[in-house]
Structure 1
Amino acid sequence: MNSSDGKKRMNVEGEDRLSSLPDDLIYKILSFIGIEYVVQTSVLSSRWRFIWTSMPYLDFSMERIYHPHKFSKFIIHFFSSRNNQTEVSSIKLSFHEVDNQDIDVFVQQIMEYAFSHNIQQLNVACLFHEFGVEFPHFLSSSRSLKHLSVTKEHVSATPYLKTYVVKAPSTWEFPALTTLYLHDITLCCDENTDKCIDLFSKCANLKNLTIKSCYMGVKVLSI
């Protein structure tokens, strides 16, 4: 091997190939880690400084929130600094709530932002010790949401936890929804609904429906 070959190999080995990738591919790679770590990549170089502000895939999965106030400040900073021209393709929410109703507020804020930025896929997995969290009604009018999954996280050491509460009107709209997965949640009526609900009659594009191990707090659920 001559000296020019060695020099060429050294240049290739020293090249930052990750930073040279197109933004869309970097977004896909970063979608596999929590959003708090994505934000931290801004210190790597000038190339990475603002990558996180246009991430279309947001993962807010956390096993446990020890400092709700700190997390609240992070949510405010994240959404106020994000590029509002960028739509949200998907959001993952996974919270381990420990005797703190503020989690309900965080979930509401994140879902409202997702709704206003044309979210297409939403996965919610929550674990609660004391409180159920009401699923926001406004999402059912989303004209962009195609895939929705709502489940309860399971921990073998704490099998008797309350489930995620979905208070339903008489029908859901979900005009674009094609896939709905409900697992181990409580489905009940709101105060304006009788005991017979026909949730899916207006979900014109629904193709895949899974209702697994759910508690039905209604007399009749019509499908």
Structure 2
Amino acid sequence: MDRLSLLPDDLIFKILSFFPSRAVVTTSLFSKRWCSLWKHVPNLGYSDPHIESEYWSASRFIDKFLLLQDNAHALQTLYLCVNRSCPPADIETWVGVAVSRGVRDILFYQYSRTWYSPIRFPRSLYTCETLVTLSLLHTFIVDVPLAICFPSLKSLTLESVDFLLSDDDIVHRLLSGCRVLEDLKVVRWGYDVLKTFKIMVPSLQRLTVEDVLINGNPVPGPDAGFVIKAPCLKSLAITSKFGSFHSLVKMPYLVKANIKLQHGDSKNLLGCVTSAKHLSLCLKQRMDSYPIGDFSQLVSLKVCTCSLDWYRLILSRAPKLRVLRFQGQENLLPSSYINDLKKCYSSSEDVQTQWERPSSVPDCLISSLETIEWMDYKGTEAENSELKYLRENSRRLLKTMTLSKYWYSLHEGVLTNDGLEI
């Protein structure tokens, strides 16, 4: 402890910021010097006790923490993890105090096994000038004001967030107030209130959309889905089991796209991501028409074996492709929310069992392809024919070929003049 006390205050504050707030306060017992150091720590992290009888003492701790801290120093982070027994008035007060102290990062998570209590955040939150990161998880929000302005907000997470009114413009109004937003993550577990999620943010650079229904939630109709207009996107990740993408724009600055769809217009979506350098696809829908445009910048392509039609089309339009990866279906994973994001939505019947020789050899096989990886390689006649065709037509530049019999076990091979050695 003596050595720790020799450190400068700023370094001690930084060290203490990594500990839970209750533990930080207990350091006041170390010595006289430590009595007030905790008051300058710029973070407040709180998690509700699972025993409701202990809630009162825990909530009073937050009150005292905020009251006794040095108000001259900004509160950088506020992390609140509460259950439904936490009075909404307390949450409104705590968030309001954090905003008044120039908070930069807020994470609010409401956990419940059954239902979520409606939360009314203070009006001051929606015009907070200092907020840079806002994460709302499993939250039922009421009383969203008309005037919203987050002049500094760069990162926003909305995971299983519902609103009291069935007004699709609420989200649009919320995002319109984020003028410098760069990162957005949206996770939808149901379509009880909002049908269309409108994402129209000119400054947005990274977007993640996860749309997977939890057991018990009703399956949405054809009108449910997303509207995305973010022309400056550099990274796009979409996992959608039921939603559709009604409106999209070209994304000329896109570098990376990961797309996994069960329904919706794959052609329209792919036509907007032709600028991507790295592309990952799992598309259940059969290809019925060509997407518009060439993938002239694409250097890395990963495809699920349910999407071979799309892969062949893209291969013929990607003259700079260097890395090609095949991913077998992962339908044997347990059916949980996290694994549902990883699983292919297609059945084994959707995978092509017959191979057709392309009418012409894609340019990338002749001039650029260097690496081929095939995960969950089963050795079917169609797979063997596909692999043989790729190997024969890309011998000049192909350096490595990696096959995996099972998705969790790799067997590497190196292409030599004598063929593939595994």
| Structure 2 residue corresponding to 1:95, chosen from 68, 82, 107 | 82
Counterpart check, 1:57 vs 2:43: yes
Residue segments in structure 1 that go unaligned for 5+ positions in a row: 1-14, 153-163
SS of aligned partner of 1:18: helix
Conserved 8 A contact 2:20-2:45: yes
Q: For residues 13 and 118 of structure 2, what CA distance do their matches in structure 1 show? A: 30
Counterpart amino acid of residue 88 in structure 1: L
1:182 is matched with: 158
Matches within 5 A, 1:55-204: 55-64=41-50, 66=52, 67-97=54-84, 100-102=85-87, 104-129=88-113, 130-136=115-121, 137-152=123-138, 164-167=139-142, 168-169=144-145, 172-189=148-165, 194-197=167-170, 198=172, 199-204=174-179
TM-superposition CA deviations, 1:82-136 (whole Å, max 9, x none): 1111110111111234xx252x233222101100000011111221244423141
Counterpart check, 1:208 vs 2:212: no
| Structure 2 residue corresponding to 1:222, chosen from 184, 198, 214 | 198
Q: TM-score, normalised by structure 2?
A: 0.42
Conserved 8 A contact 1:88-1:117: yes
Summarize the Cα distance change of 1:31–1:149 in structure 2 as closer, same or farther, 3 Å threshold.
Answer: same
CA shift for structure 1 position 61: 2.8
Q: For residues 29 and 23 of structure 1, what CA distance do their matches in structure 2 show? A: 10
SS of aligned partner of 2:3: coil
Q: For residues 188 and 196 of structure 2, what CA distance do their matches in structure 1 show? A: 16
TM-superposition CA deviations, 1:135-182 (whole Å, max 9, x none): 414311000001011113xxxxxxxxxxx1123445632121000011
2:354 is matched with: none
Conserved 8 A contact 1:121-1:146: yes
Summarize the Cα distance change of 1:42–1:169 in structure 2 as closer, same or farther, 3 Å threshold.
Answer: same
Counterpart amino acid of residue 27 in structure 1: F
CA shift for structure 1 position 57: 1.4
Q: For residues 28 and 187 of structure 1, what CA distance do their matches in structure 2 show? A: 37
Conserved 8 A contact 2:133-2:156: yes
SS of aligned partner of 1:69: helix
Conserved 8 A contact 2:83-2:110: yes
SS of aligned partner of 2:177: coil
Residue segments in structure 2 that go unaligned for 5+ positions in a row: 200-422
Q: For residues 79 and 17 of structure 1, what CA distance do their matches in structure 2 show? A: 29
SS of aligned partner of 2:119: coil
1:25 is matched with: 11
Q: For residues 8 and 97 of structure 2, what CA distance do their matches in structure 1 show? A: 26
**Identity of aligned pairs, percent?**
28
CA shift for structure 1 position 24: 2.2
Counterpart amino acid of residue 165 in structure 1: F
Conserved 8 A contact 2:153-2:178: yes
Q: For residues 149 and 69 of structure 2, what CA distance do their matches in structure 1 show? A: 29
Q: For residues 128 and 151 of structure 2, what CA distance do their matches in structure 1 show? A: 7
Conserved 8 A contact 1:89-1:120: yes
CA shift for structure 1 position 53: 1.1
Higher RCO (CA 8 Å, separation ≥ 6 residues): 1
Q: For residues 150 and 144 of structure 1, what CA distance do their matches in structure 2 show? A: 17
SS of aligned partner of 1:77: helix
Q: TM-score, normalised by structure 1?
A: 0.76
Summarize the Cα distance change of 1:173–1:204 in structure 2 as closer, same or farther, 3 Å threshold.
Answer: same
Summarize the Cα distance change of 1:23–1:126 in structure 2 as closer, same or farther, 3 Å threshold.
Answer: farther
